[in-house]
Amino acid sequence: MVYRACVAGLAGYARKNGFTSVALGLSGGIDSALVAAIAADALGGTNVVGVSMPSRYSSDHSKDDAADVAKRLGADYRVQQIGPMVDAFETEMGLDGIAAENIQARVRGNILMALSNSEGHLVLATGNKTELAVGYSTIYGDAVGGYAPIKDVDKSRVWALARWRNNHALDRGELPPIPESSITKPPSAELRPGQVDQDSLPPYDLLDEVLDAYVEHAEGRADLLARGYDEAVVDKVLSLVDRAEWKRRQYPLGPKVTALAFGRDRRLPITSRWRENS
């Protein structure tokens, strides 16, 4: 039901607003692969433009997986190198560290929006609810777009939906739309050498448990500690969630598929010095 709701939401939004095609960044990761599959089911694979935008840090397996997703879906697959554009920013502005990492994401966002402006595609943001909760995205970068099909789907459910969609295809004698390697490999933004999401976030199964209690069930710090969660994990997660409200307010709209979605259902003050763990 969740998968079909995401498909119905995208199909309805595109149709009612006059879009016949979509564009998204295909990284080879699980989030973009799932969004591409949803888009193909909603609009037809030939109406999906998947753009691989590799940098110097992009692994070969990520580029291969991106091409594989597009082939499985029958999507319009394009490759746009971002190296020269990123190099220009870094050279002209002397950027390094996180500023340089964010430039990579923002260059990719500019490329997708340029395609939207020139060809009329609806740009899809591929972030999930877990990333939205903790602010694990680059504003004006991978958060760019007109619609976000999985913004109310946490990371654990992203994997579950990908496996369900593949199994559904097998049951119908069809080719699974999502490569197995996209599902099984460690998630990474690939903005620096060897980067994986777990470098800066708790393991996703633990993170989603804490987020479900804090966001969906409105449990506070004392409740979470009483349930036995590690104090450092609880404080980190609550701090990330509370401080990311300003990003969530600027994220593209998307379908509501849980009891409590960010936005109308759960809104914090954008500016407040209060923190529960302070």
Torsion of CA 157, 163, 165, 168, to 10 degrees: -130
All domains of the chain, ordered by start, with CATH? 2-190+245-249 (3.40.50.620)
- Identify whether the C-beta of residue 224 lies closer than 8 Å to the C-beta of residue 234: yes
How deeply is 64 buried, as exposed, middle or buried, from its count of CB atoms within 10 A (0-12, 13-18, 19+)?
Answer: middle
Element (H, E) at 215: none
Question: What pLDDT sits at residue 109?
Answer: 97
Q: Which two tokens stand for residue 14?
A: 């595109």
Question: What pLDDT sits at residue 226?
Answer: 95
- Low-confidence stretches of the chain (pLDDT < 70) are 59-60, 188-199, 277-278
Phi then psi for 124, rounded to 5 degrees?
Answer: -105, 130
pTM for the complete prediction? Answer: 0.92
Question: What pLDDT sits at residue 57?
Answer: 75
How far is the C-alpha of 34 from the C-alpha of 52, rounded, in Å?
Answer: 15
Q: Of 219, 218, 222, 242, whose CA–CA distance to 231 is shortest? A: 222
Would you give the DSSP letter of residue 212?
Answer: I
Helix (H, G, I), strand (E, B) or coil at 78: strand
Question: What pLDDT sits at residue 269?
Answer: 76
Q: Which one-letter amino acid corresponds to residue 250? A: Q
Question: What pLDDT sits at residue 96?
Answer: 83
